[in-house]
Amino acid sequence: MITIKDLHASIEGKPILKGLNLTVKAGEIHAIMGPNGAGKSTLASVLAGREEYEITQGDVNFNGVDLLPLSVEERAREGLFLAFQYPVEIPGVSNINFLRTALNEIREHKGEKGISAKDFMSLVREKSALVELDSKLASRSVNEGFSGGEKKRNEIFQMAMLNPILSILDETDSGLDIDALRIVANGVNQLKTDQNATIIITHYQRLLDYIIPDFVHVLYDGKIVKSGGKDLALELEEKGYDWIKNNTPN
């Protein structure tokens, strides 16, 4: 699915990712944990193709294609989806119009015809039910005036609508109440197939009670410094990051 090799990236001349390696196969769920400022969101942004970051070394193979030369929208159309840590508001643009535009761009890329209004609306109904998103939110402006939790839920709704092959969830659990957490996790689990994969960035092992990861990685100072099964999350919770820091040769 995705193979990241020796990835180095910097912003404004400051190196953030410093030789990161990660392989995710179809059908897998990976969790990435790590202290604030370690570079988790940077990794997500770099994979999504945000232009501010400079890739200084390394390569990324996504589903058989060389990812790094592709533009942001090409990556998205190839099936890469990022659920934002801070979803953006777009005043005056309805969620529905936004998603229909996105969906049609993706379909066009695949050589498919645009979706009819009727099919689109039934897809909206089906997928908003999946994340128990109030149908009123679907027709409101993208994220405008949404509560923090609603924004996060909207991200998963969009993911369900666009049906990506690799989803990167950047702290989708933060700011969710217990019920919302369960709903979001439930949505992610239902969308899981053996054709797609998910990378979950989180600080809390709590989410991993609902979404069982196949692998847990610790990202520290721009590198994956430790990988393991889901027990690693529990161990981290217990011992804190000092345990990692003290065991990482500098």
Partner 1 sequence: MANYTEDDLAKELKDQEYKFGFVSDIDTDTIPIGLNEDIVRLISSKKEEPQWMLDYRLNALAIWSTMNEPSWAHVKYKKPDFQSIAYYSAPKQTKKYESWDDVDPEMKATMTKLGISMEEQQRLTGVAVDFVMDSVSVATSFKEKLGELGIIFCSFSDAVQNHPELVKKYMGSVVPTQDNYYATLNAAVFTDGSFCYIPKGVRCPMELSTYFRINAGGTGQFERTLVIADEGSYVSYLEGCTAPQRDENQLHAAVVELIALENAEIKYSTVQNWYPGDKNGLGGIFNFVTKRGVCEKNAKISWTQVETGSAVTWKYPSCILKGDNSVGEFYSVAVTNNYQQADTGTKMIHLGKNTKSTIISKGISAGKSQNSYRGLVQIHKNAHNARNFSQCDSLLMSSECGAHTFPYIECKNSSAKIEHEATTSKIGEDQLFYCKQRGISEEKAIGLIVNGYCKEVLNQLPMEFAVEAQKLLTISLEGSVG
Binding residue for partner 1, selected from 55, 70, 90, 225, defined by CB under 8 A: 90
Alpha-carbon gap, residue 184 to 139, rounded angstroms? 20
Site string for partner 1, 42-61 (x = CB under 8 A): ------xxx-----------
Asked if 131 and 83 touch (Cβ cutoff 8 Å), the reply is no
Which residues inside 6-35 make contact with ligand ATP, applying CB under 6 A?
Answer: 11-12, 14, 16, 34
Identify what 76 binds: ligand ATP, Mg ion, partner 1, none; CB under 5 to 8 Å per kind.
partner 1
CB of 133 closer than 8 Å to CB of 69: no
Q: DSSP assignment, residue 1? A: -
Provide the minimum distance between the beta carbon of 82 and ligand ATP in the complex, in angstroms, as a whole number: 12
Q: For 112-139, b where at least 16 C-beta lie within 10 A, e where not — what string?
A: eeeeeeeebeebbeebbebbebeeebbe
Give the H or E element holding residue 235.
helix 231-239
User: DSSP class of residue 114?
Assistant: P
Q: How far apart (Å, rounded) are the C-alpha atoms in residues 223 and 244?
A: 12
Question: Looking at 2, 41, 167, 198, which residue binds Mg ion (CB under 5 A)?
Answer: 41
Rounded-to-integer distance, Cα 32 and Cα 201, Å: 5
Q: Which of 10, 21, 141, 186 binds partner 1 (CB under 8 A)?
A: 141
According to DSSP, the β-strands at 215-220 and 223-228 are antiparallel
Is residue 124 a contact point for partner 1 (CB under 8 A)? no
Among 13, 64, 69, 92, interactor with partner 1 by CB under 8 A: 92
Pick from 109, 192, 206, 230: which binds partner 1 (CB under 8 A)? 109
Contact window for Mg ion (CB under 5 A) among 25-33, 35-43, 229-237, 239-247: 35-43
Stretch that binds Mg ion, among 34-42, 63-71, 96-104, 209-217 (CB under 5 A): 34-42
Q: How do 223-228 and 53-62 pair as beta strands?
A: unpaired
Could you say which residues in the range 77-116 bind Mg ion, by CB under 5 A? none
- Contact residues toward partner 1 (CB under 8 A) are 48-50, 71-73, 76-77, 81-82, 84, 87-93, 97-99, 101-103, 105-106, 109, 141, 158, 162
- Contact residues toward ligand ATP (CB under 6 A) are 11-12, 14, 16, 34, 36-42
